[in-house]
Structure 1
Amino acid sequence: MTIQYPNPTSPLAGADDIRARAAAAAAVARLHAEAVDRDGRFPAEAIEALKTGRLLGVGIPIALGGEGASVEALAEVAYVLGKACSSTAMIFAMHQTKVACLVRHGQGAAWIEGAMRRIAGEQLLMASSTTEGQGGGNVRSSAAAVEVDGDSVALDRAATVISYGAQADGIVTVARRASEAAASDQVLCVFFREDYTLETVSGWETLGMRGTCSAGFRLRAKGSPEQVLPARYGEIHGRTMTPVSHILWSSAWAGIAAAAVERAQAFTRVAARGAGGQMPPGAVHYARAVSSLRQARALIAQAIDRYEAAAPESLDALDAQTALTMLKVEVSELALAATNGALRANGLAGYRQDGDFSIGRQLRDLLSAPVMIHNDRILANLATATLMAPVAASLRA
């Protein structure tokens, strides 16, 4: 199958142009999705298609070689990819989250701007390293510290997970600011492949999202002090890392659910035709799946509008933090509910691993959503943060 990639007609590509390139990349991802899942392998063909379509640097500003794409445009790409291959969509979402952190918090820093030019020019894939040791998904606590030695910095980090770490061209990682700093006093660092080595310490044999290849590694990196972003990580986390990751993850999950709902729609139509127009018993579950998907898409759209309209400092407010943080919790549950509904609508045809109506891969992939930064951890943290906040006195308060 030959895939034609539209080319941007101007330095700032429009949303339609980006969607066309995303659709071309998704066509490649779809061809290999079953093999990626079955073999637990990196979706190399799909990532190469993203590079060919110049989608890895699309969010970088025009002045730095990118296309200045909005978060909404990136979310649309994640959604389209999610319908084709879950792992490809999640890799795209994680990469673009890291790039967004560089864009918002690294402009004006010469080395970081050079890194963005390199990512856009060479279409480099950046991995994410935020969890380590026994901290699990607590990304606001780091054990490993940046060690400064004259004009160089070093980092030795036991990373529980580095998604697609072995296949990436670089890594964006959090660390303690210095050996004497508190665990929550963190910085964000950027290293390219020539700056670090990886030693595998654990594998990635999972129910779903198998192609993300999120193994554990010991990361040993060395670079210059300029490779540490000047902004405090607490600011980066609240204003960019959390909102962008939750929007893009949610968009990928909604795309996966949409693929399942499409299969349920196709099955329900075939079953109804075969029964002379009478709806099959599982049709009620199809209707519920459609409703869950609509709710998820509406929440994502609201979050995108809120994020793109907000001044960065306004995202520090408790209401904004709560809404954008809860997006991950709510969409992860809704996408899973939609996919489970699609399975029940299709019955045995959805339960089977073979056939056009199978829901197995999508369901297994979405089982990761509530436990990827565990929803219970998020809810517990929010409960603490909101305990002293007043309860709204009216509908629009």
Structure 2
Amino acid sequence: MAFLSDDLLARIHDRAAAHDADNTFPADDLADLRDAGYLRAFVPVEYGGAGLGLEEIAAEQTRLAKAAPGTALGINMHQIIVGLGRHLVRNGNSRGEIILRDAAAGELYGFGISEPGNDLVLFGSITEAAPDGEGGYRFTGTKIFTSLAPVWTRLLTFGRDDSGEDGPHSVFAILDRRDGGFTVADDWDTLGMRATQSNTTRLEGARAPESRILTRCEPGPSKDPVVFGIFSHFEILLAATYLGVGERAVEVAAEHVRTRRSVKNQTVYANDPDIRWRIAEAALAVNAVGPQIRELARDVEAGVDRGPIWMPQLSAAKNAASEATLRAVEQSIRACGGASYYSRHELSRLYRDALAGLFQPSDQESLHAAWANAILGPIEK
């Protein structure tokens, strides 16, 4: 059974074009999602949530993205971190309870991981994490693409601790917005996904007390529950979100060609074999993505260990979703003709939103390098 009602999604859809055009945060969407209990939907029942599993929340993200991709991508970051909390609790790290209880209480999580020019992404930070002498850390550095920047109340972030003699460590922590120590830039003016308002966030000695330090681990790909928990939920839920964009493109194109008439053929374009082929091609592209998402979600929930191929397979699902969506939107635009080139046409917005998938990890370069290493081994020196 779906968690978000069709009426709620219809209201969110009706607002999406205006938030894109005006480059504004969808505050009404957030309020509606909060009232519907969506911020705590992924929280286990015993912690005060609705108890949806990863496969179920992924399906809801797909539905939300069909209504409003920007809203979905922003809320996606919150759901990723709630998923991390669930993963930590299942793996014996009680710090995950902080995340679950926060989400159940209505706190909204932002995602402060990406940094300018840092292609290590989750596997190494250029932000300084300095011990505060009390078991906590102060973070100084710049985070980019911090979705929900105007409204998050908690921020998951990480930095590099060089203070020990045993080499650098990545420190993952939760910041409380009320504690300050950061500045949010007004710099989100992008091609698409504008409603996410993913402004740059400058950490200026922002402090996380010892109670909100999730882990201190070696940089790099890791089986540390924090690293794997973030990575797995990020890739699966990102894939689910982009799947929604692709599915919506097919719907819009189908609606359009049923009424667009051909002067030459004296019938609607839905009867044109070439147009039918294009829309079928778009549908086929996205059709292959859903089973990957569902299978991976089940294995993450079940604690399946796929060994060294786990992270590459998770990256592959995200890549499959973003590439299939681009293909689906392009074919849909071709099917609909010049009308879709106008900004007011929904396909124009979906195309711009789909392009964001090119930039979010894992990108194609790191994905192919990981798979080449898995198949061929490392490059010989």
Measured against the shorter chain, the TM-score band is 0.7 to 0.9
Q: Is residue 39–residue 79 contact of structure 2 (8 Å, CA) maintained in 1? A: yes
Q: Aligned partners of 1:289, 1:183: CA distance in 2, in Å? A: 49
AA aligned to 1:366 is A
| One of 16, 22, 25 as aligned partner of 1:42 | 25
Q: Aligned partners of 1:35, 1:179: CA distance in 2, in Å? A: 48
The worse-fitting range, judged by mean Cα deviation, of 21-30 and 138-147 is: 21-30
Cα shift readout 1:133-168 (whole Å, capped 9, x = no counterpart):
431462211122142322543222321332222221
Q: 1:320: which partner in 2?
A: 310
1:85 to partner: Cα distance = 0.6
Q: Aligned partners of 2:45, 2:228: CA distance in 1, in Å? A: 22
AA aligned to 2:74 is I
Gaps of 5+ in 2: none
**C-alpha distance 258-131 of structure 1, shift in aligned 2 (>3 A):** same
| One of 240, 248, 253 as aligned partner of 1:259 | 248
Q: Aligned partners of 1:28, 1:125: CA distance in 2, in Å? A: 21
Cα shift readout 1:178-217 (whole Å, capped 9, x = no counterpart):
5347887313211222123332356121110111111212
Q: Aligned partners of 1:181, 1:145: CA distance in 2, in Å? A: 15
Query: Percent identity at matched positions?
Result: 23
Residue aligned with 2:157, SS: strand
| One of 322, 327, 339 as aligned partner of 1:337 | 327
**C-alpha distance 29-179 of structure 1, shift in aligned 2 (>3 A):** farther
1:1-397 correspondence to structure 2 within 5 Å: 16=1, 19-106=2-89, 112-121=96-105, 123-136=106-119, 138-143=121-126, 144-150=128-134, 152-177=136-161, 179-180=163-164, 185-201=169-185, 203-220=187-204, 221-230=206-215, 232=217, 234=222, 235-236=224-225, 239-271=228-260, 275=267, 278-279=271-272, 281-311=274-304, 314-315=305-306, 317-355=307-345, 358-373=346-361, 374-388=363-377
Residue aligned with 2:373, SS: helix
Q: Aligned partners of 1:102, 1:231: CA distance in 2, in Å? A: 16
Q: Aligned partners of 2:208, 2:231: CA distance in 1, in Å? A: 26
Q: 1:6: which partner in 2?
A: none
1:222 to partner: Cα distance = 1.7
1:29 to partner: Cα distance = 1.6
Q: Is residue 81–residue 255 contact of structure 1 (8 Å, CA) maintained in 2? A: yes
Gaps of 5+ in 1: 1-15, 390-397
Q: Aligned partners of 1:182, 1:22: CA distance in 2, in Å? A: 52
**C-alpha distance 180-132 of structure 1, shift in aligned 2 (>3 A):** farther
Residue aligned with 1:128, SS: strand
TM-score, normalization: structure 1?
0.84
**C-alpha distance 22-241 of structure 1, shift in aligned 2 (>3 A):** farther
Q: Is residue 170–residue 216 contact of structure 2 (8 Å, CA) maintained in 1? A: no
Q: Is residue 22–residue 80 contact of structure 1 (8 Å, CA) maintained in 2? A: no
Q: Aligned partners of 1:193, 1:304: CA distance in 2, in Å? A: 31
The worse-fitting range, judged by mean Cα deviation, of 219-228 and 41-50 is: 219-228
Residue aligned with 2:38, SS: coil
Cα shift readout 1:82-105 (whole Å, capped 9, x = no counterpart):
111111111121111111112221
Residue aligned with 1:188, SS: strand
Aligned length: 366
Residue aligned with 2:190, SS: coil
**C-alpha distance 110-287 of structure 1, shift in aligned 2 (>3 A):** closer
Q: Aligned partners of 1:328, 1:184: CA distance in 2, in Å? A: 29
**C-alpha distance 367-181 of structure 1, shift in aligned 2 (>3 A):** farther
1:59 to partner: Cα distance = 1.4
Cα shift readout 1:332-371 (whole Å, capped 9, x = no counterpart):
101110111111111112222235xx41000000011122
**C-alpha distance 213-46 of structure 1, shift in aligned 2 (>3 A):** same
Q: Aligned partners of 1:145, 1:35: CA distance in 2, in Å? A: 39
Q: 1:394: which partner in 2?
A: none
Q: CA RMSD in A?
A: 2.6
